Structure 1
Amino acid sequence: MSQEKPIVKFKVFRYDPERDEKPRYETYEVPYYRGMKVLDALIYIHDNYDPTLAFRYSCKIWRCGSCAVMVNGDARPACRAEVEPGKEYVIEPLANLPVVRDLVVDFSKLYKRFTALGPYFVTTKPRGTEPARVPGH
């Protein structure tokens, strides 16, 4: 006797500014498994339904943030956003950033603003030629 896997529905934002007049949503049904993340579902959709679905990811371990999307209205890293069986999910690009295509947004303006803030340390002393060491070791 085989048990069917639960199905999770994903309503995914689709938009190509070069080809589409306006954005649309497409719904996909994805088989659920324990420990599933939104990123896993996006990869499943890409591999099994539509290879034109555009989204970003890199590390898959919640470090880089490149997979960030809106999940049911909240900004979340897709690799960290857990999926629950029986629920429906609306997946959209990050808000307030221009859409390149589908779930991919243009971060360039954000990066420029971030850099202008100077979110890093600036030393006033010249760097030494020797590597840093803990005193006494």
Structure 2
Amino acid sequence: MPDKMIQVKVFRFDPSVDREPRYQTYPVPLEKGMSAMAALDYIYQNLDGTLSYYDHAACDLGICARCTGMIDGKPGLFCQAVIQGDVTLEPVSKDRVLKDLVAKKP
């Protein structure tokens, strides 16, 4: 049973169709110890299947770093970052976005 509902604000941008990036906010049931990746999984599986992100990338152990992004303005790994309340998730580099939270590697 979720502890409470939180708001997860996600950066959205598809350069092939969007002129400007935007943010979309989703209600997510917060579970104890929930990672940012688990919140993204919930959004993708239950609310918006168009969301692009590195879903459990290659490892889900914080080793591959494919899921690196900005969590409330600070860099981190979505698979390792435990969220405790409302949160904003963004790509690590907004100028290299392929789609949503997926960015080209430097």
TM-score normalized by structure 2? Answer: 0.92
Structure 2: where are the runs of 5+ without partners?
A: none
User: How far, CA to CA, are the matches of 1:4 and 1:20 in structure 2?
Assistant: 34
User: How far did residue 4 of structure 1 move?
Assistant: 6.1
Q: Which amino acid aligns with 1:48?
A: N
User: How far did residue 5 of structure 1 move?
Assistant: 3.5
Asked if structure 1 preserves the Cα contact closer than 8 Å seen for 2:2 and 2:31, the reply is no
User: How far, CA to CA, are the matches of 1:12 and 1:105 in structure 2?
Assistant: 14
What is the match of residue 8 of structure 1?
A: 6
Structure 1: where are the runs of 5+ without partners?
A: 111-137
1:85-105 Cα deviation digits (max 9, x unpaired): xx2111110126500000000
What is the match of residue 44 of structure 2?
A: 46
Number of aligned positions between the proteins: 104
Larger radius of gyration between Structure 1 and Structure 2: 1
TM-score normalized by structure 1? Answer: 0.72
1:1-137 to 2 correspondence within 5 Å? Answer: 5-56=3-54, 57-84=57-84, 87-95=85-93, 97-107=95-105, 110=106
RMSD across aligned positions (CA): 1.4
Helix, strand or coil at the partner of 1:19: coil
Instruction: Return structure 1 stretches of 4+ with deviation > 6 angstroms.
Output: none
Q: Which amino acid aligns with 2:19?
A: E
User: How far did residue 60 of structure 1 move?
Assistant: 0.8
Q: Which amino acid aligns with 1:32?
A: L
Helix, strand or coil at the partner of 2:24: strand
Q: Quick one: percent identity of the two aligned structures?
A: 36
Higher strand proportion (structure 1 or 2) = 2
